[in-house]
Amino acid sequence: MSTPSTPGAAGAPTGPLLEVTDLSVSFTAHKQTAKVVDQVSFAVQPGKTLGIVGESGSGKTVSSLALVGLLPRTATITGSARFAGQELVGMTTRQQREIRGNDISVIFQEPMTSLDPVFTVGNQLTEAYRNHQGGSKKDAMARAEEMLRLVGIPEPRKRLAEYPHAFSGGMRQRVMIALALINSPRLLIADEPTTALDVTIQSQILELLQELQQEMGMAILFVTHDLGVVASVCDEVSVMYAGQVVEQASIDEFFAHPRHPYSEGLLRSMPHSVPKGERLRMIPGTVPIPSRFPTSCRFAGRCPYAQEACSAAPIPLEQLDDGRVVRCIRHRELVMEARP
């Protein structure tokens, strides 16, 4: 059953496909609790792509995997995540399994290790298909072949019988995409799907994802640290820092006028935003570890615009008139540019 039982949600033309509100994730180890994701909110519109950007340790992967129950057992998840009218937080594992790979699929960063090395590609694809759709092995094989063709793998019928080690990194990521999309999900969570690939392969995979999105109409939650990738595939962007959302905007607005000093720092650190021959820029320092997140502005320690007030009290997330969202008390006075 892929149609959700909740009334009024499935076919609704307006409203987001996924609406995450105040999602928090904490991990408990050795009787210490660390809140890795803190009251994150974002929304993904049907058929659109939302990028979640941030450095390593910003909580972007954790907040996306929390949606489908792929975090370790030590994780505690609170808040709300409504997917097509269904509440994902607090679902039983059985309900999660029904949604996973069916309505919401995931592709991961590591194409080299994300496929099971001891089963053929065909076996893994048909298994995923029959797990949700049932049906005969023959039908599943036909569907698997169709998917391999769709993701641009030559001679799909022959390759179904091969093991993952016979595929290159880029080809494995294509297989992984075929695996994720075989049940035509409505939402694809792409967790840094191109980070481990060569630059040329990267752009091929991004193009493929965009083509498939148009063809199959799914929404994509694109988790990445690469703003170049965000610029080419996303409709909207949500910037995360140290477990919090610090800015949300449409792509054009974001790249033209970032509102948060962290966004500005990220944009200015992109290699091509620096004129040739000049030193590459960077944001000094690193993301603090979750147990040492400040209660006030978490970026203040690395922020070139920080004032005393920044370290005094928690900074609220502010909804602006133009629909943008920013977490900075100085955003009105500061004029920021993507290029230095």
Partner 1 sequence: MLTFIIRRILALIPLLFIVSVIVYGLILIVPGDPAITLAGGEEATNERIEEVQQELGLDRPFLVRYGEWVGNAVQLDFGNSLYSDIPITEEIAERFPKTLQIAGGALAFGLLVGIPLGIISGIRPRSVSDRTVVIITSAAIAIPTFWLALILILQLAVYRSILPSRGFVPFSESPSQWLEHMILPWITLGTLTAATIARQLRGALSDTMGSDHIRTSRSVGLPPVKVVGKHALKNSSAPVLTVVGLQVAYLLGGTVVVESIFGIAGLGSYVLSAISRKDFPAMQGAIMFIALLTVVVNLLVDISYALLNPKVRVE
List residues near partner 1 by CB under 8 A.
Answer: 68, 70, 96-102, 105-106, 108, 110, 113-119, 127-128, 131-132, 163, 165, 176, 179-180
Smallest distance, Å, CB 221 to partner 1? 13
Rounded least distance, CB 219 to partner 1, Å: 17
Place of tokens 């450095």: 55
- 98 vs 139, beta carbon nearer partner 1: 98
- CA-nearest of 4, 182, 183 to 82 is 4
User: Least CB distance from residue 49 to partner 1, whole Å?
Assistant: 19
The smaller minimum CB distance to partner 1, of residues 24 and 109, is found at 109
Closest approach of partner 1 to the CB of residue 127, in Å: 7
- Taking the least distance from each CB to partner 1, the nearer of 100 and 159 is 100
Radius of gyration of the chain (CA): 21
C-beta of 124: minimal distance to partner 1 in Å?
8
Q: How many CB atoms within 10 Å of residue 52?
A: 29
3-state SS track over 207-272: HHHHHHHHHHCCEEEEEECCHHHHHHHCCEEEEEECCEEEEEEEHHHHHHCCCCHHHHHHHHHCHH
Q: How far apart are CA 235 and CA 251, in angstroms?
A: 6
Nearest Cα to 91, choosing from 1, 16, 100, 131?
100
Nearer to partner 1, 58 or 102 (CB): 102
Q: Which residue's CB is nearer to partner 1, number 131 or number 269?
A: 131
336 φ/ψ angles, rounded to the nearest 5 degrees: -115, 150
Residue with Cβ nearer partner 1 (102 or 244): 102
CB 208 within 8 A of CB 188: no
Phi then psi for 10, rounded to 5 degrees? -60, -55
Q: Least distance to partner 1 from the beta carbon of 40, Å?
A: 21
